[in-house]
Chains A and B, each alone.
Chain A
Amino acid sequence: MRLSRRRFLGGAAAAALGGAGVYELVDRLSPAPHRTVAEPAGMPAEQHLIDLGTVQSEGVEVVVPPLHSEVVTATVAVSDLRDAQQELEQALRALDARYALNPAGLAVTVAWGLPYFERHVPAQAKAHLPHDRRAGKPALLPTRTFPSDPKDTLLEENDVAVLLRSDRREHIDAARKALFDDLSIFRMTSIRRGFAGGGFHGGKSLPQKMAVAAGVPGADLIPDGSELFLGFTSTQKAGLGPGLIANHETLGYVDLGSGYFRNGTHMHLSHLTEDLEAWYLNFDFDERVLTAFRPGMTQVKQGTQTVAQGPKDVSSPQLLARQFHTTGRFGHSASIQASSRLQQDTVGDDGTVYPKGTAIPQRADFNTLDNPFAWTVDPARDKLSKQPVAGVHFVVFNPSSDDFHRNRLAMDGVLPDGTKLSLPPRTRAQGFNSILMTTHRQNFLVPPRRHRSFPLAEL
């Protein structure tokens, strides 16, 4: 099996579109979709929530992701955190006033890394950071690698990450300017850009158009209308955590202590490259289904992009283990579902009943041509290249670091009950993992909106 190969960028088009230049195409390639999203009466307590609206895709309700996403990471550049807190909050409130909290406007999520809490507010952090009672560990854990990660995956140490989401690039550009150029409280460390969707009403999707325009290998093999590079719809509503489920407090996994971080959540940010040629030239459609979803899924019509993954379609650890022993492989969704879906009906902190099979993580991942970032303060460390490469900036909200770690370990066949579906890392039988390569990772805490600016600095 030849799963590595020398590769090149084809043609002058790719060179011309390299680096940030490729993003200038975004607005030309896909106009903002028409949405029927109601503007919220007030800002929610949670920073990570945004009403995205849904469409029907092949008979399945699918959340329409924002066309454009960007993450800016930074370190704190000032010593007077209380002044900085005021400055940042004023700037954020100005953005809140200028743009509605929906994809037609702008969603801003400010997340803080462990280095911020340890270096800048250590005493307050010790007193107020939430504790994961299920794991017996802090809710925000140091970033770690996973079995299928390459050895050179970089574990980052940013103080802060700001996630900007909108259907309009100019809104994101304005927000980045307001928070990072106009203020002098941060030292930017990276800018990460990307896109998703745009093809739900037929024709070519934005990721497909962007990949073709950039000339990345395998771009021509992406199916028309594909929400993301890999050809399957990943934002079906039943596959994303509903409402407040990813809040620290909702499922009872996390002890909030003082309650300072109530309405907050955990965010994991990583960058992965995707070998599209290997995906489309080495895995036929049936095998792409088996490996993306689960073994035994043999009745999916050729060319289907939206494969139902509702609570009734969910795998269990027992089924997963049985299918693994029968087929020698486990599917991406099936393995993660062993920990990412509720294994029994659960009543949330606010009384909401979440049925068995409900998804917990709220993903906000988006495709990118960054290699690995659009910009970095340290090109050598990050191995920055201007040659576009197909990839994902993976952004996901979970109640805690441990909850994310459980899901990610399950993706490598390490199940929450200790069962190990023993496959060497990155083998073909691991499906997705064999064509993904993680370059960077970091865990963050997302405070509630009321404490989004330099959390704990006022105490």
Chain B
Amino acid sequence: MRATIVAALAALALAALAPGASGGARSGCPAAWAAGWQKLADKIDAPVYCPTWMPNPLDAKIGGDYEDIYSIGKDRSYLVSFLAHGDLGSGDVHVNFRGYPGRTEIPKCQTIALEGKKTIRGVTNCFADAHGTANAPGITATVYRVNQDADQWHILLAWRYNHSLYTVSEHVIPPYTYAQIVQNLHRLLKSLVLVRPQG
């Protein structure tokens, strides 16, 4: 789903008004978003992290206007992606959430490079170029700058919980600057609440 962002400055000015803008209030997954995240946790039979804040103009309603990807693998790993696309050239806001239940190693991604008529295939870590950590209560996340697949061009935070690996990432692209995206990710991390599978 797509939405139009009018202008970078407008987006920044409105940031404080974004859904869940009280960011960091980890009282629980927002009511409007909770059903989707609960359904995801139930489906994969493992805890998932629901954000209580999202960078403007996104919300984190699975099945909502901004959902871009909702994918669950055979191994129960998931990718939930939210995207606001600036149709008038004002930029994108794109946030990905991933989880890998029951495994904590950095996953491998396939690389495919077309060199003329040749296709060169390789394998690389999906998340690389670690640059420090980010902290939130109960979470110490590693910051990765070079990421693959849906997280390419994103800054990504990865952390381990209960023998599982989780990530959140945001695309480095205007209207937000790199510094603002790092700030967004720190705020996102602090806003996360666990949603456990029911039944």
Contacts and interface: CB of A to CB of B under 8 A. Distances in A.
A9 B173 contact: no
Contacts of A459: none
B146 A429 contact: no
B145 interface: yes
Contact of B115 (A221, A277, A284, A328): A328
15 contacts: A1-B111, A5-B173, A7-B174, A8-B8, A8-B174, A215-B177, A217-B172, A220-B177, A220-B179, A281-B153, A281-B154, A284-B145, A328-B115, A423-B116, A427-B114
Contacts of B178: 217-221
A11 B90 CA distance: 11
Interface string A1-21: 110011111111000000000
A358 to B, nearest CB: 33
Contacts of A186: none
A9 B176 CA distance: 10
B173 A7 contact: yes
Contacts of B112: 1
Interface string A331-346: 0000000000000000
Interface of A: 1-2, 5-12, 215, 217-221, 277, 280-285, 287, 328, 422-424, 427-429
Contacts of B153: 2, 5, 277, 281-282
Contact of A280 (B91, B116, B145, B179): B145
A8 B173 CA distance: 8
B9 interface: yes
Nearest to B147: A281
A26 B47 CA distance: 52
Given A1-B111, A220-B177, 7 more contacts: A9-B174, A218-B178, A281-B152, A283-B146, A424-B116, A427-B113, A427-B115
A282 B89 contact: no
Given A1-B113, A2-B153, A284 B146 contact: yes
B115 A10 contact: no
B123 to A, nearest CB: 14
Interface residues of B, number: 28
Nearest to B125: A284
A289 to B, nearest CB: 12
B89 A8 contact: yes
Most buried by A among B91, B112, B116, B172: B172
Contacts of B154: 281
Interface string B138-156: 0000000111000011100
A220 B120 CA distance: 32
Contacts of A215: 177
Contacts of A219: 178
B128 A424 contact: no
B160 to A, nearest CB: 21
Contacts of B115: 328, 423-424, 427, 429
A287 B147 CA distance: 13
Nearest to A422: B116
A168 B115 CA distance: 46
B175 interface: yes
Nearest to B144: A284
A426 to B, nearest CB: 11
Contacts of B120: 328, 429
Contact of A284 (B129, B173, B176): B129
A1 B114 CA distance: 9
B135 to A, nearest CB: 20
B17 to A, nearest CB: 19
Nearest to A6: B89
B8 A11 contact: yes
B115 to A, nearest CB: 6
Nearest to B131: A221
B113 A428 contact: yes
Contact of B174 (A10, A282, A423): A10
A364 B65 CA distance: 53
A429 B113 contact: yes
B113 A281 contact: no
A424 B90 CA distance: 33
A31 B60 CA distance: 48
Contacts of A218: 178
Nearest to B155: A281
A298 B178 CA distance: 29
Nearest to A2: B152
A277 B145 CA distance: 10
Interface in B1-41: 8-9
